[in-house]
A and B are shown apart, each in its own frame.
Chain A
Amino acid sequence: MITFKKVTKKYKDDFTALDDVSLEIKDGEFVSLVGAAGAGKSTLIKMLIKEEVPSSGQVIIDGMDLADVANREIPFLRRKIGTIFQDFKLLDSKTAFENVAFALEVSGVHEEEIKEDTTQVLAIVGLSDKHRNFPKEMSGGEKQRLAIARALIHRPKIILADEPTGNLDMVNSYEVIKLLWKINEIGTTVILATHNREIVNTIGRRVVTLEQGKLVRDQAEGGKYII
Chain B
Amino acid sequence: MNEHKRHPKSDDNFIAEPVDSPHAHQAETTGVAFSRILKSGWISFKRNPVLSIGATGVMTLTLLVFSGLLMLNFFTAQTVNYFNDKVDITAYFKLDAKEDQILKIQNDLQKLPTVKEVGYVSPDQALAEFKEKHKNNQVILDSLEELGKNPLAASLNVRATERGEFKEIADFLEGHDLRAVIDKINYQENQVYINRIQAISRGLSWWGLLTSLFLIIVAVLVMFNTIRFAIYNQAREIEIMRLVGASNWHIGGPFMMAGVLYGLFASAVTLIIFYPLVYFITRKLVSLDADIAALNLFGYFVSHWYLVLLAILGAGLVLGIGSSLIAIRRHLKV
Chain A residues in the interface with B (C-beta under 8 A): 1, 27, 49, 61-64, 69, 71-73, 75-80, 83, 89-91, 102-111, 113, 117, 120-121, 124, 150, 152-157, 186-188
With A61-B14, A76-B15 as known contacts, state yes or no: A186 contacts B29, CB within 8 Å: no
Residues of B within 8 A of A83 (CB): 243
Task: Report yes or no: B10 in contact with A107, Cβ–Cβ below 8 A.
Answer: no
Q: Which single residue of chain A is at the shortest CB-CB distance from B250?
A: A106
Residues of A within 8 A of B30 (CB): 108
Chain B residues in the interface with A (C-beta under 8 A): 1, 3, 5-8, 10-16, 23-30, 32-33, 36, 236-237, 239-248, 250-251
Residues of A within 8 A of B16 (CB): 76
Q: Which single residue of chain B is at the shortest CB-CB distance from A90?
A: B240
Task: Report yes or no: A117 in contact with B1, Cβ–Cβ below 8 A.
Answer: yes
The docked-state distance in angstroms from the alpha carbon of A89 to that of B14 is 25
Question: A106-B36, A188-B7 known; 20 other A-B pairs, CB under 8 Å?
Answer: A61-B14, A62-B11, A64-B13, A75-B247, A79-B25, A79-B244, A89-B240, A102-B244, A106-B247, A107-B247, A108-B28, A110-B32, A113-B25, A153-B244, A155-B1, A155-B7, A155-B25, A157-B8, A186-B6, A187-B6
Task: Report yes or no: B250 in contact with A69, Cβ–Cβ below 8 A.
Answer: no
The docked-state distance in angstroms from the alpha carbon of A188 to that of B7 is 8
Task: Report yes or no: A73 in contact with B250, Cβ–Cβ below 8 A.
Answer: no
Task: Report yes or no: B240 in contact with A80, Cβ–Cβ below 8 A.
Answer: no
Task: Report yes or no: B23 in contact with A155, Cβ–Cβ below 8 A.
Answer: yes
Residues of B within 8 A of A107 (CB): 25-26, 28, 244-247, 250
Residues of B within 8 A of A72 (CB): 247-248
The docked-state distance in angstroms from the alpha carbon of A79 to that of B24 is 12
Q: Which single residue of chain B is at the shortest CB-CB distance from A83?
A: B243
Q: Which single residue of chain B is at the shortest CB-CB distance from A77?
A: B15
With A62-B10, A108-B250, A109-B32 as known contacts, state yes or no: A103 contacts B3, CB within 8 Å: no
Task: Report yes or no: A79 in contact with B26, Cβ–Cβ below 8 A.
Answer: yes
